[in-house]
């Protein structure tokens, strides 16, 4: 590795690192203004994220789905698409993988687990196909469609595990009949579960290795294959891509399907590795957090892994922070928004720290090309 490529990597890392640093400073100011103790909060945060083997395992556990939802948003960004729908795709992936996981008793693990994972990917891909196809064939903007599909997905998932009602409503198809009035699925069969790397109390499963492998795969696809080149060309200049003979429509649909499949896989891994069942309250915010992960990682798969690690650590430390210092863990979300502001508007960072704009700076993709043209 020579000096110039090292400098290039340094430049790529500079803005994200300063963005996180500035977000933590502003977050501390917010806490101070509202009467919380930022030092105690950050001490609790560090303790909860890295203070012990348990803390590290929590960070890794939280990081795993974020890698995949981050990749989902990042891959779509590469083609100039904004996938706000990772959370819906995540939910559908969860439901599909659970549907396979709670059925087919007696199937050997070498078939059952991959089948359940594939079901999650397929569900997510289907949920990504809808906005992709609607964009291509009707011009509907993917942002609105994916947001609406998030609500549809969570209602649909709610129905599948619905415990039924007092007025004779029928319970959903995946409802655990032994759970009484609780809306949830039964546990998936042992053969469909992702094995532990470290079992109780650490609860780290092989899903993290799978997520890292997928990140490397996506890096290879994006930067080393014709498909990746076509995708990046579509994202950089839609018209030029069309003149160059790239099938823009197909790339758009395919990219949304891949993005959906990644988020669906996140849902499958989270369910088959960790929760072992689905209940509506498991959904969380990993889908939306994927946006921050993707942008902080500069839409580069390796960057996505790094930023997923960081956000996973923030997430993991939040509970301990709230417990130790009494500062509400909701401050994490404010810090995330601040990180997003600083990475999405590097001009602010450059002004604060008086950094000159490097001449070979690659411009970020512009999405605001209006509604569906």
Partner 1 sequence: MGKRRVRITPYIIGGLIVIFVVMALLVNATPLGASNVWLRVFFGISALNFTLRASVPLILGAMSGILCERTGIINIGIEGMMLAGAFAAFVAKTGTNDWPLMNSLLFGVAAALAVGGAMGWLHALFSIRYRMDQIISGTVLIILATGVSSYLFNRDAVAEGKFGSIAIPGLSQIPVLGEVLFSNPPLTYTALILVVVIHIALFYTKWGLRSRACGEHPRAADTVGINVNRFRYMNTIIGGMLAGLAGGFLVLEAVGQFQEGMTAGRGFISLAAMIFGNWMPFGAMGAALLFGYTQALQNELLLAGVTTVPRQFVSMIPYVVTIVAVSGFVGRVRAPAAEGKVYETEGGSE
The residue ranges that bind partner 1 (CB under 8 A) are 30, 34, 82, 84, 134, 138-141, 143-145, 147-149, 151-152, 155-156, 158-159, 162, 165, 167-170, 172, 288, 291-292, 295, 328, 330-334, 336-338, 340-341, 344-345, 347-348, 364-373
Question: Which residue from 273, 285, 323 is spatially nearest to 43, judged by alpha carbons?
Answer: 323
Q: Which two tokens stand for residue 150?
A: 């998030």
Length of the chain: 373
| Angle, helices 226-236/53-78, rounded to nearest 10 degrees | 70
In the complex, minimum distance from the CB of residue 189 to partner 1, in angstroms, rounded to a whole number? 26
In the complex, minimum distance from the CB of residue 308 to partner 1, in angstroms, rounded to a whole number? 17
The burial of 313, by beta-carbon neighbours within 10 Å (0-12 exposed, 13-18 middle, 19 or more buried), is given as buried
Cα three-residue angle 9-209-203, rounded to 5 degrees: 120
In the complex, minimum distance from the CB of residue 226 to partner 1, in angstroms, rounded to a whole number? 28
In the complex, minimum distance from the CB of residue 359 to partner 1, in angstroms, rounded to a whole number? 16
In the complex, minimum distance from the CB of residue 305 to partner 1, in angstroms, rounded to a whole number? 21
Q: Which is nearer to partner 1, 52 or 364 (by Cβ)?
A: 364
Q: Which is nearer to partner 1, 152 or 197 (by Cβ)?
A: 152
Question: Would you say the C-alpha torsion 289, 295, 297, 301 has a positive or negative sign?
Answer: positive
What are all long-range contacts of 323-326, with beta carbons under 8 Å and residues at least 24 apart?
Answer: 323/44, 324/40, 324/43, 324/44, 324/47, 324/48, 325/36, 325/37, 325/40, 325/41, 325/43, 325/44, 326/36
Q: Which is nearer to partner 1, 210 or 293 (by Cβ)?
A: 293
In the complex, minimum distance from the CB of residue 124 to partner 1, in angstroms, rounded to a whole number? 18
Q: Which is nearer to partner 1, 165 or 195 (by Cβ)?
A: 165
Q: Which is nearer to partner 1, 324 or 333 (by Cβ)?
A: 333
The burial of 139, by beta-carbon neighbours within 10 Å (0-12 exposed, 13-18 middle, 19 or more buried), is given as exposed
Question: Which residue from 337, 285, 314 is spatially nearest to 42, judged by alpha carbons?
Answer: 314
Q: Which is nearer to partner 1, 59 or 150 (by Cβ)?
A: 150
Strand partners, 198: 204
In the complex, minimum distance from the CB of residue 249 to partner 1, in angstroms, rounded to a whole number? 15
Question: What is the four-CA torsion angle of 150, 70, 72, 186, rounded to 10 degrees?
Answer: -60
Q: Which is nearer to partner 1, 59 or 292 (by Cβ)?
A: 292
Q: Which is nearer to partner 1, 147 or 179 (by Cβ)?
A: 147
Q: Which is nearer to partner 1, 162 or 196 (by Cβ)?
A: 162
For residue 68, give Cα distances in angstroms to 44, 78, 317, 340, 364: 27, 15, 20, 18, 21
Cα three-residue angle 360-366-370, rounded to 5 degrees: 155
For residue 226, give Cα distances in angstroms to 221, 230, 362: 8, 6, 21
In this structure, the number of other CB atoms found within 10 A of the CB of residue 101 comes to: 30
In the complex, minimum distance from the CB of residue 335 to partner 1, in angstroms, rounded to a whole number? 8
In the complex, minimum distance from the CB of residue 148 to partner 1, in angstroms, rounded to a whole number? 4
């Amino acid at each position: 590795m020579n000096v110039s490529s090292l400098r290039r990597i340094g430049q790529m890392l500079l803005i994200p690192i300063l963005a996180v640093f500035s977000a933590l400073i502003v977050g501390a100011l917010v806490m101070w203004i509202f009467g919380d103790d930022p030092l105690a909060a950050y001490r609790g945060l560090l303790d909860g994220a890295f203070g012990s083997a348990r803390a590290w395992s929590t960070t890794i556990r939280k990081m795993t789905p974020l890698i995949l939802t981050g990749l989902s948003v990042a891959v779509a960004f590469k083609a100039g698409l904004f996938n706000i729908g990772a959370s819906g795709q995540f939910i559908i992936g969860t439901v599909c993988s659970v549907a396979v996981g709670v059925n087919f008793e007696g199937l050997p693990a070498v078939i059952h687990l991959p089948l359940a994972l594939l079901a999650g990917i397929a569900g997510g891909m289907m949920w990504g196909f809808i906005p992709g196809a609607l964009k291509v064939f009707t011009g509907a903007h993917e942002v609105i469609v994916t947001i609406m599909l998030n609500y549809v997905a969570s209602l649909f998932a709610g129905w599948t595990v619905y415990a039924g009602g007092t007025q004779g409503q029928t319970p959903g198809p995946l409802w655990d009949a032994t759970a009484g009035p609780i809306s949830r699925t039964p546990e998936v069969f042992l053969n469909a579960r992702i094995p532990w790397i470290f079992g109780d109390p650490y609860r780290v499963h092989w899903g993290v290795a799978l997520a890292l492998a997928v990140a490397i795969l996506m890096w290879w696809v994006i930067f080393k294959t014709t498909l990746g080149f076509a995708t990046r060309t579509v994202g950089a200049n839609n018209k030029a891509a069309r003149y160059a003979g790239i099938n823009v429509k197909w790339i758009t649909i395919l990219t949304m399907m891949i993005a959906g499949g990644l988020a669906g896989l996140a849902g499958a891994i989270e369910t088959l590795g960790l929760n072992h069942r689905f209940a509506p309250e498991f959904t969380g915010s990993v889908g939306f957090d994927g946006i921050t992960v993707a942008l902080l990682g500069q839409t580069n798969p390796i960057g996505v892994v790094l930023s997923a690690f960081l956000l996973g650590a923030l997430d993991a430390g939040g509970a301990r922070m709230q417990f130790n210092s009494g500062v509400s863990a909701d401050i994490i979300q404010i810090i995330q928004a601040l990180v997003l502001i600083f990475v999405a508007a590097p001009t602010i960072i450059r002004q604060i720290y008086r950094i000159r704009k490097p001449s070979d700076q690659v411009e970020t993709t512009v999405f605001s090309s209006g509604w569906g043209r």
